[in-house]
Amino acid sequence: MTSAPQLSAFGLDVVVERLTVERMGPYLDSATGDLAVALRLYDWNSAVAGAMHADLGRLEVVFRNALDRALNDLAAASGWKQPWYAQELLYRERQRDAIDTAVQRASRHRRGSPAHGGVISELGFGFWRFLCVPAYLTALWVPALASAFPRRPAQGDPRRIRADVERRMEGLHVLRNRIAHHEPIFRRNLERDHAQLLELIGWMCADSQTWAAAVSRTPSTIAERDRRASADS
Q: Is residue 22 part of a domain?
A: yes
Q: Is residue 210 part of a domain?
A: yes
Q: Is residue 233 part of a domain?
A: no
Range of the structural domain that residue 56 is part of: 7-227
Q: Is residue 232 part of a domain?
A: no
Q: Is residue 21 part of a domain?
A: yes
Put residue 216 in one of left, alpha, beta given phi > 0 → left and psi -120 to 50 → alpha: beta
Average pLDDT over residues 35-42: 93
Q: Percent of the chain scored above 70 by pLDDT?
A: 93
pTM: 0.89
Count how many Cα atoms sit within 13 Å of the Cα of residue 109 in the half-sphere of its side chain.
1
pLDDT digits (tens, 9 = 90+) for 177-216: 999 999 999 999 999 999 999 999 999 999 999 999 999 9
> pLDDT-derived band of residue 2, with 50, 70 and 90 as boundaries?
very low
CB 146 within 8 A of CB 134: no
Give the helix ranges, DSSP H, for 79-217: 93-106, 116-122, 125-130, 158-180, 190-204, 206-215
Q: Is residue 69 part of a domain?
A: yes
pLDDT digits (tens, 9 = 90+) for 116-152: 999 999 999 999 999 999 999 999 999 999 999 999 9
CB 170 within 8 A of CB 129: yes
Q: Is residue 25 part of a domain?
A: yes
Q: Is residue 12 part of a domain?
A: yes
By CB atoms closer than 10 A (0-12, 13-18, 19+), residue 174 is middle
DSSP 80: -
pLDDT digits (tens, 9 = 90+) for 152-162: 987 789 999 99
> pLDDT-derived band of residue 232, with 50, 70 and 90 as boundaries?
low
For the chain, the domain total comes to 1
